[in-house]
Amino acid sequence: MIWLWLGAIVLFSVVEAVTAGLVSIWFVAGAAAALLAALAGISVTAQLVLFVAVSAVALAATRPLVRKLTAGKAQPTNADRVLGQTARVTETIDNQNADGKTWTARSTDGAVIPAGTQVRVTKIEGVKLFVEKIKVTEGTI
């Protein structure tokens, strides 16, 4: 059982190292506790119970702390900052790809929007901005 627990520690450590979030660190703690029990000559059943118990306690103790530390204020990206802003169409939006442009724009409703039209950015999907015409009333710009 000593080799089994050593293998489990290595396996769970490798899984933890190659993933972005906390995935298996609790099982490393449980396997380490079970390894100590195996070295002390405790029964296999007790080792398994210890593995499960220590893993569960480690998870229960650390998960809320991890969530609290990682739940920071979301910082908008540059892409997020264009949502709701107005712009002027410089090329007709015909819902075909505009190669070589920083932003590819599509009309929200699929309509063709001629160059020079005032639009509002409504959403972003990948590198595409979805825009809608701004309704201009008489006497306003």
8 and 57 housed in the same domain? yes
Q: Where does the pLDDT of residue 45 fall: very low under 50, low under 70, confident under 90, or very high at 90 and above?
A: very high
**Number of domains, the chain:** 2
pLDDT at 113: 86
**Tokens 């029990």 belong to which residue?**
37
The two most distant CA atoms of the chain are separated, in Å, by 89
112 and 62 housed in the same domain? no
Q: Where does the pLDDT of residue 10 fall: very low under 50, low under 70, confident under 90, or very high at 90 and above?
A: very high
pLDDT at 39: 94
Q: What is the spatial distance between Cα 86 and Cα 118, in angstroms, rounded to a whole number?
A: 7
Owning domain of residue 44: 2-70
61 and 83 housed in the same domain? no
84 and 58 housed in the same domain? no
pLDDT at 69: 67
Coil, strand or helix at 106: strand
141 found inside a domain: no
- In terms of Cα–Cα distance, which of 84, 89, 93, 76 is closest to 121? 84
44 and 94 housed in the same domain? no
139 found inside a domain: no
pLDDT at residue 67 tops 90: no
Neighbours of 59 (CB within 10 A): 17
Q: What is the spatial distance between Cα 110 and Cα 129, in angstroms, rounded to a whole number?
A: 13
